[in-house]
Amino acid sequence: MRTNDVMLQTATKVVTFIILMFAVHIFFAGHYTPGGGFVGGLLTASAIVLLMLAFDIPTIKKILPINYVVLTAVGLLIAIATASASVIFDVPFFTHAYDYFDLPLFGETSLHSALLFDIGVYLVVVGVTMTIIQTIGEDE
């Protein structure tokens, strides 16, 4: 019997945005405070899993048409690209660089190329977690 789960679905609609917002916060906070690509990725994956629990997998596939295997590959490519970009500037592999920029809204901010590597980690974590959960969840 298909039960009526309005409570769960309504709560999910509100809570998912809080989780995603917090995931982005954790991701960008990684350089100076606890957090980073791994935790941010896991939080994002957990938000998507919550959506899948409240609704069902075909619906989520319709609103988030992402192939998570490709997402993992893109993440690995970004990580390798940022690591090997240092070779172009004639410094050892994996050397990172940073500089201070005056951004319009944030004021003086230090931007570090480790952030790009972290984006790679983030995408890989989201991709791998979602692939595992989808493969287990779709067995019928």
Partner 1 sequence: MILLISTGVLFSAATALGLIRLPDVYTRTHAASKSSTLGVLSILLGTFVHFWFNEGIFNTQMVIAIAFLFITQPVAGHLIGRAAYMTGIKVAEETVRDDMGPAIGKRKNNQQEELENE
- Where helices occur in 55-109 by DSSP H, the ranges are 57-63, 68-88
Which one of the spans 5-13, 63-71, 84-92, 123-131 is the region binding partner 1 (CB under 8 A)?
5-13
Q: Is 18 in the site for partner 1 (CB under 8 A)?
A: yes
Write down the least CB distance from residue 119 to partner 1, Å.
22
Element (H, E) at 44: helix 37-54
Exactly one of 16, 20, 22, 112 binds partner 1 (CB under 8 A); that residue is 22
Q: How far apart are CA 120 and CA 132, in angstroms?
A: 18
Q: How far apart are CA 53 and CA 18, in angstroms?
A: 17
Q: Which residues bind partner 1 (CB under 8 A)?
A: 1, 3, 7-8, 11, 14-15, 18, 21-22, 25
